[in-house]
Amino acid sequence: MRPLYIDGSPGCRVVLEEPALRVSLADKADQLFPMTRISRVVCKGMVDWSISALLACADAGIMVLFLERNGELRARWLGCVNQRQSLTQRLVDLLARGDGPALFENWSMAIEKLAARSFARRIGLRDWREIPVVTLRKQLYVSLQSRGRHEANLLQSLLHAELLIWLPEAGFASDDEALLCSDLDLAAFFSQLLVWDFYPMLLDTEEASEEPPMQAMAALFEQRADRCYLLFRSTINKLHQFLLAVS
């Protein structure tokens, strides 16, 4: 299965034409995408969906993400998940403890520090071992400029879409009510974490693509999807070990 990316525009519409989604774009021929071949759908900008198409995606377990024009996540439509997973229960139990949220926050800050230091080392910063994450973020904001920040938003949203599939497979049920009530968005957290691995490419202006940002970032993500998944699994293993240690 493959992701379906839709770069929306006025007149763009998605309807159900079983067993496929029909995508209509102004001045272009309609395209049919069999639902059995779609892992998730990512829409940027103006895309008009029929209710029957959205419900068919939910029934098929296909997650739909809606992005703002600048690439930031606006909303998400979750597909069905069959059962609550054990890792979800461990995390929910931790967050229910009086000291649980603080313990998880300390762990998440330590994990992000590792990702940020890896980025700093890759771009050749001398003080990569000591530079604070907050300082790195401020420097990145300036260095990326408007286009780079737009591309970073898109990449983070694409990561978010992929994580809505990876997390349930790794043992975290994305629609678990107890986890949702905890105000912890694991897909958002992991997308913010994993996007550090893409920043060196966004800073490399010599590699800037002439393609529209949505297509360029989708291609970059697909090129590095295997590496990204390995980083995700490594972090999940660290999270599992942490949950076992504090339980």
C-beta of residue 123 within 8 angstroms of C-beta of residue 198: no
Between the ranges 57-61, 176-180, 209-213, 228-232, where is the mean pLDDT highest? Answer: 228-232
207 pLDDT more than 70: no
C-beta of residue 4 within 8 angstroms of C-beta of residue 40: yes
Structure tokens at 154: 């898109």
Closest CA to 216 of 75, 21, 7, 25: 7
Coil, strand or helix: which one is 186?
A: helix
Give mean pLDDT, residues 161-166.
88
C-beta of residue 220 within 8 angstroms of C-beta of residue 155: yes
pLDDT at 66: 92
Please give the CATH number for the structural domain made up of 2-77: 3.100.10.20
C-beta of residue 21 within 8 angstroms of C-beta of residue 14: yes
User: Beta partners for 49?
Assistant: 14
> Which pLDDT tens digit goes with each residue over 80-95?
654 334 677 788 888 8
Element (H, E) at 229: helix 225-246
When pLDDT is cut at 50, 70 and 90, the band that residue 121 belongs to is very high
pLDDT at 83: 38
Element (H, E) at 167: helix 133-170
Closest CA to 2 of 218, 191, 247, 204: 218
DSSP count for the chain of H helices, then E strands: 9, 8
When pLDDT is cut at 50, 70 and 90, the band that residue 173 belongs to is low
51 pLDDT more than 50: yes
